Amino acid sequence: MHFPPPGAPLRMQPPAHSDASPAAAPRALDAAQLDDAPAVRLLTDTLHAARVRDASDIHVEPFEAGWRIRLRIDGVLHEHARPPLHLRDALVTRIKVLARMDIAERRLPQDGRLRIVIDGGTRGDYRVSSLPTLFGEKLVLRRLETMPPDLTLARLGFDAQQAAAMEAAIRAPHGLVLVTGPTGSGKTLSLYCALQMLDRDAHNVCTVEDPAEIQLDGISQVGVAEKSGLTFATALRALLRQDPDIIMVGEIRDAETADVAIKAAQTGHLVLSTLHTNDAPAAVARLLDIGVAPYNLAAALHLVTAQRLVRRLCTACRVHSDAPVPVLREAGCDPAALATGWRPFVARGCPACHGIGYRGRIGLHQTMPVSSGLAERIVARASVGELAQCVAAEGVRNLRDAALARVRDGTTSIAEALAATPAA
């Protein structure tokens, strides 16, 4: 891209309806119809690169002597560009204008939404967050997804046994199903996939989310607005007066939400929600710690699935590892497989993957149905270690074992598997 020298005028086209409030509904804009100012070209080129490389987030980061644009690709940030300093404020202003944010307010965080049509018809939908820093405003544009039409549990990484357990749990008439994992591990998408599998014509399906990330047909979605007093617990109580069959709660954050969700699951509703814990047994301990009665939890909980995302090796350039056998054995590779000459693949990098060595991600899952034996241990307030031993004896593999299975079939590398999962 050609950048003009410092001081060159930027022809910033004012937005239509410039007197609209920042809270007004976002509008779709066609990048081809915008003016040709350098900041606009920079934004268009950045959005194009983000689309081509399937980036989930765009970071605009100011520093004392410059700034940079980074793209989050498959969970990892990569530097995209370091444009001239004189374009920084112009780009930030352009994004804030299009996202219906207050361009005069630079001292407080703001949120907005940007809808723009690029590349001759491809629609981009982004949630925009601004944050004042020492050297200017930092922006993050989070891509808002659309629901993939062919999404299945298998495509999310569930094996046949895990998918069967998950499907049995969500087709039960009532109970609690939890998906747990860190931020960015795909929990919400797993719940959306589960909701898509249900008969929405015969059931009243409702969600409470913060925010609603994907619009779902046939489902009543409620967005949390804590500043206005609409919390998860408040919205959940209101939904229970709406004759629901199935309720998805975006996250159980506190004792109040947990209490309402558990009671709903015990009174004829199917409740799906998420937690932030290291693995499935730890989710049980978390709910007990925030005050859920053990006997209520044991009666309501049907299944917990913990998950992580690992990057897929690029099949066009992956190569076999040349690491010594003792090193591979210490890393967790199967000694019997190593003895036969098998070696794991490692990343190399090529034009197909933009030199990264990975293309796309897949889920790892620890799917834990609540058996009668596990329910007894929950009532007895067993420790996380005791719960883990119980589910292991029942054939539930942990996340590390799930990751190593993906190493054995060539999906990912040993380095990626170890980095993404807690030690067993």
Residue 286 pLDDT exceeds 90: yes
* Contact in structure between 285 and 388 (CB atoms under 8 Å): no
236 has a pLDDT exceeding 70: yes
Question: Average pLDDT of 325-349?
Answer: 93
pLDDT at 211: 83
- Over residues 378-385, the mean pLDDT reads 96
In this prediction, residue 7 carries a pLDDT of 43
Query: Is residue 3 pLDDT above 70, yes or no?
Result: no
Mean pLDDT of 338-352: 95
Residue 269 has pLDDT above 80, yes or no: yes
**How many whole angstroms separate alpha carbon 189 and alpha carbon 195?**
10
DSSP class of residue 259 equals: H
What amino acid occupies position 243? D
Q: 104 or 145: whose pLDDT is higher?
A: 104
Question: pLDDT tens-digit profile of 294-335?
Answer: 999 999 999 999 999 999 999 999 999 999 999 999 988 999
Segment 147-152 long-range contacts (CB within 8 Å, at least 24 positions apart): 147/192, 147/196, 147/214, 147/215, 147/216, 151/189, 151/192, 151/193, 151/196, 152/193
d(C-alpha 401, C-alpha 299), whole Å: 29
* Range from 139-143, 402-406, 419-423 carrying the lowest mean pLDDT: 419-423
- Is the domain 160-420 a CATH 3.40.630.40 member? no
Which residue type, as a one-letter code, is found at position 267?
T
Q: For the chain, what are the domain ranges?
A: 28-143, 160-420
Contacts of 351 (CB under 8 A, 6+ apart): none
Tell me how far apart the alpha carbons of residues 373 and 269 are, in angstroms, rounded to a whole number: 24
What share of residues in the chain are helix, strand, coil (percent, to 5)?
35, 25, 40
CA separation for the pair 97, 40 (Å, rounded): 11
Instruction: Work out the pLDDT band at 29, boundaries 50, 70, 90.
Output: very low
**Predicted pLDDT of residue 13:** 39
The residue among 191 and 12 whose pLDDT is bigger is 191
Selection from 404, 415, 370 nearest residue 168 by Cα: 370
Q: What six digits make up the tokens of 172?
A: 């039960």
Q: Which residue has the higher pLDDT, 145 or 334?
A: 334
Give the pLDDT band (50/70/90) at residue 213: confident
Quick one: pLDDT band at residue 424, thresholds 50, 70, 90?
low
Average pLDDT, the chain: 90
Beta bridge partners of 301: 176
Q: Is the pLDDT of residue 98 over 60?
A: yes
- Answer yes or no: are the C-beta atoms of 236 and 208 closer than 8 Å: yes
Characterize the bridge pairing of strands 205-209 and 220-223.
parallel
Which of the pair, 211 or 88, is modelled with greater confidence?
88
Domain 28-143 has CATH 3.30.450.90: yes
pLDDT at 36 over 70: no
Alpha helices (H) in 152-209, listed in sequence order:
160-170, 187-196
**Residue 267 scores a pLDDT above 50:** yes
Does residue 81 contact residue 68 with C-beta atoms inside 8 Å?
Answer: yes
Distance, in Å, from the CA atom of 267 to the CA atom of 379, rounded to the nearest integer, reads 19
pLDDT one-digit tens code per residue, 195-209? 999 988 899 999 999
Copy the structure tokens of residue 115: 């809808």
Chain Cα centroid distance, residue 343: 31
The amino acid at residue 87 is L
Burial letters for 36-48: b for 16+ Cβ neighbours within 10 Å, e otherwise? Answer: ebbbbbbbbbbbe
